[in-house]
Chain A
């Protein structure tokens, strides 16, 4: 199977949205869409599943909470209990109110950082990563839709030309 794709360029987000809907209705497969800013409703129009990254954040937050409880219980109660200012630290439950601020901070710390790291990993973003957008204008004002060619190049191009595109390119995708 060839990796040939047709790249149709648009200069307006509304035209792009209509084009995406038309292409999907005509049963062509949209490989990717590159936009310079978040176009609301585009993921739904393309049929992308919802992202589960918020769920991971919740789980990371739970890990942070459990970790902070474990850490403070170990350090303050088990390993070296002390009597600080007449407030002895001999049981976790009695000391717990003083631990609440750090329990909260650690929850946020874990949830935020691990979620962002997950996002960077899943979306393949890190320093020295080469950008893969098909055209430098896609970060400025150009919207690009990539449609997979399945032995129907001429027909596909003819179809895309009617969707308000300003430029069409056929390339081999590696």
Chain B
């Protein structure tokens, strides 16, 4: 037992009297069981929203992006807001699985699988927006450096928009293999438990014939560690590059050097909020409260509080620097943000992102499940408005006052946004019923160190 020592002060990460077999049973239960009525209701709503989104996308592509609310002053609005919002949400998964692995945080093991699934599903949503925004989606492959009919007219590698193409596709594909590699032992567990031949075949296919040899585990752990080492700078680079889309331009309100760290902090902030939203429901519905404990939620709330405060500092720094710079355009952009016609969006952003996470200083509130859920929704609303404020308020007051205008979304803008939320939940709900939603092999490896039963045994003995 001594090799599994963990300081008694650390609270158990797996509560209850669980054995290795219990973990398999609990993780396999949602996959082997039948969906209840609530799942079907949620799935139907998500599917409807998704279909509405498809309809809006088809209408956009068929008619042109003139059906959106964009005008010649505000050329970027909901589309790019949604893009940045979804990419930001997609940051928590890799942060949990990679950064927390490097820091040897065992609590990541209960939540990393679902957080990574969320990452992949939300990056898919994010990727849709730039593609639709192109208008002529059938030319989307022009963003890749491919030889073409113009001889050799290549892509412009000086452009941050192209950096984004590379960053996001690298991020999506690396996250996907990271996720899948971790899934192999868990799919193998489902395969070996499966009774119905069809299930056995599917999970056999998905598990790539994983057998759990000692050498495979040795490589598995090394690969996970190296992937974590690669994914950590990668995840930071992705939102940095997304912020370059704005920061390298000459628009007042965008052209600031604070953008990369500020965007990364905001991304982690919104990503953890979305993880909380999803897992608070999932732990209840799928009976996983023993593995996704209150402590997990509390720790995520602390991350939300810290990153929210970083974001708050960034907002205030921006205001200060705008004033301090002495540049009239910059000063006006920020004054207009706070007091102009979009003051309400600015106020919503400030109160949701800077004010609301401060409640998490109170232990009582950050350990309350209901309160955490409400704050997680509030944070994501706030983060959507942050992107909206940055994008639209910077554009709608052009250098030329005769071009000043406002932006209002059409039903197509709204439809596509709702559609991506629907698509995201369709994917996540399907995932929750077919995938091992907890990295059971990894959880088993910490059972003796962090399981409640074993901790009690050990700490009672004072060995």
A residues in contact (CB < 8 Å) with B:
13-14, 32-43, 46, 48, 50-51, 53-54, 57, 61, 71-72, 75-76, 79-80, 82, 84-85, 87, 89, 95, 98-99, 101-102, 104-106, 108-109, 111-113, 115-116, 119-120, 122-133, 136-141
Contacts and interface: CB of A to CB of B under 8 A. Distances in A.
A105 B237 contact: yes
Contacts of A106: 166, 170
A34 B212 contact: yes
Given A41-B3, A105-B237, A139-B188, A32 B223 contact: no
Contacts of A137: 192
Given A131-B191, A136-B193, A139-B191, A101 B237 contact: yes
B304 interface: no
Interface in B132-164: 145, 152-160, 162-163
Contacts of B223: 53, 115-116, 119
B403 to A, nearest CB: 22
A34 B226 contact: no
B167 A105 contact: yes
B192 A133 contact: yes
Q: Which of A32, A111, A112 has the most CB of B within 10 A?
A: A112
B156 A116 contact: no
B189 interface: yes
Given A76-B154, A84-B156, A108-B233, A38 B211 contact: no
Given A39-B445, A57-B226, A112-B174, A125 B153 contact: no
Interface string B258-274: 00000000000000000
A75 B157 contact: yes
Contacts of A120: 208
Contacts of B237: 101, 104-105
A120 B233 CA distance: 24
B207 interface: yes
B154 A75 contact: yes
B244 interface: yes
Nearest to A107: B230
11 contacts: A34-B213, A36-B185, A36-B441, A48-B214, A80-B154, A102-B163, A108-B231, A112-B177, A131-B211, A139-B24, A141-B444
Interface string B200-225: 00001111111111111111111101
Interface string B422-463: 000000000000000000111011001000000000000000
Nearest to A71: B145
Interface of B: 1, 3, 19-21, 24, 145, 152-160, 162-163, 166-167, 170, 173-174, 177-178, 181, 184-185, 188-189, 191-193, 204-223, 225-227, 230-231, 233-234, 237, 241, 244, 440-442, 444-445, 448
A53 B158 contact: no
A98 B448 CA distance: 50
Given A48-B218, A53-B226, A33 B213 contact: yes
Nearest to B23: A141
A113 B173 contact: yes
B168 to A, nearest CB: 9
Q: Which of A13, A79, A95, A108 has the most CB of B within 10 A?
A: A108
A51 B221 CA distance: 10
Nearest to B192: A136
B interface: dominant SS: helix
B37 to A, nearest CB: 31
Given A42-B217, A53-B226, A108-B230, A127 B163 contact: no
Given A48-B214, A123-B220, 17 more contacts: A34-B214, A36-B20, A37-B185, A41-B3, A42-B214, A48-B215, A50-B218, A54-B225, A75-B152, A75-B157, A76-B158, A82-B156, A106-B166, A123-B219, A124-B209, A126-B209, A131-B188
A104 B157 CA distance: 13
A87 B248 CA distance: 14
A14 B233 contact: no
A153 B182 CA distance: 38
A108 B170 contact: yes
Given A36-B189, A38-B441, A53-B226, A141 B19 contact: yes
A126 to B, nearest CB: 5
Nearest to B204: A131
Contact of B157 (A35, A102, A115): A102
A120 B222 CA distance: 13
Contacts of A115: 223, 226-227
Given A33-B213, A101-B163, A133-B192, A111 B221 contact: no
A79 B152 contact: yes
B212 A116 contact: no
Contacts of A87: 158
B31 to A, nearest CB: 14
Given A35-B214, A106-B166, A130 B209 contact: yes
B209 A131 contact: yes
Contacts of B231: 108, 112
B445 A99 contact: no
B263 to A, nearest CB: 14
A46 B214 CA distance: 9
Contacts of B185: 36-37, 139
Nearest to B238: A105
A116 B191 CA distance: 22
Given A87-B158, A113-B174, A139-B188, A127 B222 contact: no
